[in-house]
Amino acid sequence: MLQKLLLVLGCIVFSFSQLNAQSRDELQKQQQQIQREINDLNNELASIKGNKKAALRAYQAVQNKIKARESLINNIRKDVKILEETLFLNEREIYRLNKELDTLKINYAKSIVFAYKNRGSNEYLNFLFSAENFNDAIKRMAYLKSYRQNRETQAQTIIKTQDLLKQTTITLANNKKEKAGALQSESSQLQVLEIDKKEKDQVVTQLKDQEQDITAQITKRQKENQKLANAIKAAVRREIEEAQRKERERLAKLRAASLEEQKREKDRLDKERQDALVKNNAKNNSNKQKPADVTTGVTASKPIERSASVFESTKEGLTMSLNFENNRGKLPWPVDGGSVSGEFGIQTIPGTKLKADNQGIYIITNVGASVKCVADGEVSAVFDLESDYQAVLIKHGKYFTLYNRLASANVSKGQSVKAGSILGKVGANAQNEGEFEFQVMNEKTQYQNPRNWLKR
């Protein structure tokens, strides 16, 4: 009984240790990823050091580095918390094992003393011959045999408990070293964070000297983006009108048919739509353990309550919308490598009057780098912009993605594209660097933060 209790308690502690080990493994992988991101940002800053024209980009890189550093520090703190929990569990386990070991030794000592006092063969024979019948004698022989086996089991349990105590003590010592190392790492990162903040202040000082020129650049870009936004609204409106026209034609054909045929056709289309939803939900449930490839199908995600959309009146349109929705946070980046030079939304720089309102994110990469489609869709429009750039608008059911500031486009309106299809090449900005913009919006042309859709 005692051995079973030891085994159960040991398994509980082992389970907690395994869970904590898995959590720590995940945290350490995240730390490595964040550190790689910080290294890339440091390399980017080193490449533009002394380039006054790139001060705005340097500011964004420093901002990104500070965010990454803060994320790394939070990650380390989570690691320290897990280590503290593990230390507590191991200390409790050592205390329990010591108590159990004392009890085992006392009981074993009592059994040895009892065996010593009754070691004579006469006592053994008297115990057997005092049996009332043959069956009673057999039972007494079995009892004596089990008593000897119990003493052997007690001895083995003591040895195993001593080994477990030794292993747990070693693990505890290692945990203390790991905690000390994590705390030292946290302290070092906090010091570097202060250096990063000072670096940011230096970049802000440079920006103040160039505030007028940068304001002019931002104003020019905002005007270009407003024209593009108007063109996008017009393109989406045309898409809606075309989808409505097709739906009217479909309904007209149904009305022209008999009421019975109309009902059957409507039921069939409704069933296809329902089957698509059921299939999607089934994939969601089956993919909870193993997410699907974002470029090949619908992946697991929490079901979203749907509002009526003309773009989802067909099975194909609904499937495309679901595929895009369910890959939220998992979509591949439109370019390989590169770094974000402009974040989504209203961006301000403390200490200056600089302000920009971005409908998407700007990404710095190599001039001429390939821009890839992030999900299956259809080319809704290709825009020729005044500043010798092109932009490609892709429809994904009721969602749209925009790939702006391309030197050239490889696709044309109405063309079907797959995730990973090359849409064009990145153009050069005013500093002769490769830079383009990526946007995500819905059918109402409500812009959304691409960071929330792209793979982290």
Tens of pLDDT, residues 378-434: 999 999 987 789 999 999 999 999 999 999 999 999 999 999 999 999 998 877 888
CATH of domain 210-259+331-456: 2.70.70.10
37: pLDDT confidence band, cut at 50, 70 and 90? confident
User: What's the whole-number average pLDDT of the chain?
Assistant: 81
Distance CA 231, CA 424 (A): 19
Instruction: Classify residue 376 by its DSSP letter.
Output: S
The whole-angstrom distance between residue 126's C-alpha and the CA centroid of its chain comes to 74
pLDDT, residue 295, reads 41
Helix (H) / strand (E) element for 357: namely strand 355-358
Distance CA 77, CA 255 (A): 66
296: pLDDT confidence band, cut at 50, 70 and 90? very low
Which one is predicted more confidently, 21 or 407?
Answer: 407
- Is the predicted pLDDT of residue 450 greater than 70, yes or no? yes
Chain position carrying tokens 């209790």: 5
Q: Is the Cβ–Cβ distance between 61 and 46 less than 8 Å?
A: no
pLDDT in tens, 150-205: 666 667 777 787 888 888 888 888 888 888 988 998 899 999 999 999 888 888 88
In the structure encoding, which two tokens stand for residue 226, read together? 């407003």
pLDDT, residue 19, reads 58
pLDDT, residue 281, reads 72
- Going by C-alpha positions, the residue among 73, 43, 80, 28 that lies closest to residue 192 is 73
Least confident of 299-313, 350-364, 365-379: 299-313
Least confident of 193-207, 256-270, 297-311: 297-311
Neighbouring CB atoms inside 10 A of 328's CB total 17
Chain position carrying tokens 């946070």: 329
Where do the domains of the chain lie?
Answer: 2-208, 210-259+331-456
**In 185-312, which ranges are E strands?**
none
Which one is predicted more confidently, 55 or 183?
Answer: 183
110: pLDDT confidence band, cut at 50, 70 and 90? confident
- Is the predicted pLDDT of residue 1 greater than 60, yes or no? no
Buried b (16+ CB within 10 A) or exposed e, 114-141: eeeeeeeeeeeeeeeeeeeeeeeeeebe
What is the greatest pairwise CA distance in the chain?
114
CA distances from residue 78 to 24, 65, 82, 166 in whole angstroms, order as listed: 9, 20, 6, 28
pLDDT, residue 334, reads 96
In the structure encoding, which two tokens stand for residue 434, read together? 């490769």
- Is the predicted pLDDT of residue 116 greater than 80, yes or no? no
Instruction: Classify residue 415 by its DSSP letter.
Output: -
Q: Is the Cβ–Cβ distance between 334 and 371 less than 8 Å?
A: yes
Least confident of 118-132, 226-240, 408-422, 431-445: 118-132
Mean pLDDT throughout 223-241? 90
pLDDT, residue 4, reads 52
Bridge partners (DSSP) of residue 438 are: 361, 403
- Going by C-alpha positions, the residue among 87, 80, 88, 85 that lies closest to residue 187 is 80
Strand 377-384 to strand 390-396: parallel, antiparallel, or no bridges (unpaired)?
Answer: antiparallel
* % the chain with pLDDT above 90: 29
- Going by C-alpha positions, the residue among 375, 374, 371, 345 that lies closest to residue 358 is 345
- Going by C-alpha positions, the residue among 436, 449, 260 that lies closest to residue 347 is 449
Bridge partners (DSSP) of residue 424 are: 371, 409
pLDDT, residue 410, reads 93
Mean pLDDT throughout 325-330? 93
pLDDT, residue 257, reads 67
- Going by C-alpha positions, the residue among 317, 319, 314, 316 that lies closest to residue 270 is 314
| Range from 208-212, 314-318, 411-415 that averages highest in pLDDT | 411-415
Mean pLDDT throughout 264-293? 69
Long-range Cβ contact pairs of 446-454 (< 8 A, separation 24 or more): 447/344, 447/359, 447/360, 449/344, 449/345, 449/361, 450/344, 450/360, 450/361, 451/343, 451/344, 451/361, 452/328, 452/329, 453/327, 453/328, 453/329, 453/331, 453/374, 454/329, 454/331, 454/332, 454/333, 454/374
